[in-house]
Structure 1
Amino acid sequence: MPYEDRLSACLDGDAADKGIGRVYNRFTYCARWNLQVEYWEIDSKGVPVEKARTASAVWRVFGQGDAKDRRVRIFSQIEKDAVDYDWGPIDNIFVAPGVPLSLMGQCSQDSDVCGAGPGSYTLPWATWDNNPIWANWDIHNREQNSEGRDKISYNQWYVEAFTDNEEYTTLNRAETPPRLMRCDSATYFN
């Protein structure tokens, strides 16, 4: 779980809801976006055949840097009671809440520069809408591709939202704006 005091302090700031989010300090980042996911029904071969509708929510992301390791732990969740469906009156109640949504942390660069793990967290929309638990990933930066005495290196990370099951797919995965991560292996910091 994120450190509650840093999470509150960061998300309560002005910039968390604007642009690419808020850098609270050199180890803490947060953002809140409006997420919209467009769903397509697929046939038995996995080919999209008809747009089903959309689901939307408020998507929160929190990043906490590690002062002793070359990594950032990224947390993400759907804000409680923030989900809306545009599937029609009956399907808004009986279909859309049960459709799965996956969130997954990713690196923008190749795996020789950085890595993200574990894999995706997949829950039905109704569960995301009422779930206080944060999905989380560690974004690791690889020291062997760094430079200088302090082994400085940069990479970018983002979180994506998608569905890919037997009934529905998202043709365009939703993604947070990529965020820059700077890592070093300096030993002289307190």
Structure 2
Amino acid sequence: MPSEFHIRDAVPGDGPLMGRLHAASWASAYRHFMPHAFLDHPDREAGSARHWTENLMSPVVPGGRGWIIEVDGEPAGFAWAQPGSETFAYPSPEDAGHLDAIHLLPSRVGGGLGRPFFWHALTALSEMGFAEATLGVYEENVRARGFYEAMGWREDGPRRVRQFDWPAEPFSATLLMYRGPTREQ
């Protein structure tokens, strides 16, 4: 476990930080199944920063919330949770919340932050009245799937092929829907 970590609410000014954290996480976690040029493209961070800035200012799904986890005062990751909704890949059941994102810097993966950060975000969904939540994870992201399964979550729902119409090299990846409790068992 890191010497000291703190989880705080994300604020609108955190959009660029969340974009940086998101891009760094994708570049590491998805490197074995997505084109490297796509992951390393300079627009990846800027586009993500725009998305999170907009979501922080006016959540796409009402009730959406974000958090930043810091270690010794330095940002180490972010998460976003919201009531269930239609997402880009599949609809979340109305009776479930949705963990839209949870990302750590590559240097922080495996360091003991994931479990407390995961349950922090899910506790917020529990406090909204959701006993269960969903999340999307790429089939090829075996490490993340193992983590979610260790938290008591299971694949539950349709598999969807997500098409990335990136001009330099179009590709696809299979998204799985996982579902699990919003309270640690």
Q: TM-score, normalised by structure 2?
A: 0.29
Structure with greater Cα Rg: 1
Q: TM-score, normalised by structure 1?
A: 0.29
Structure with greater strand percent: 1
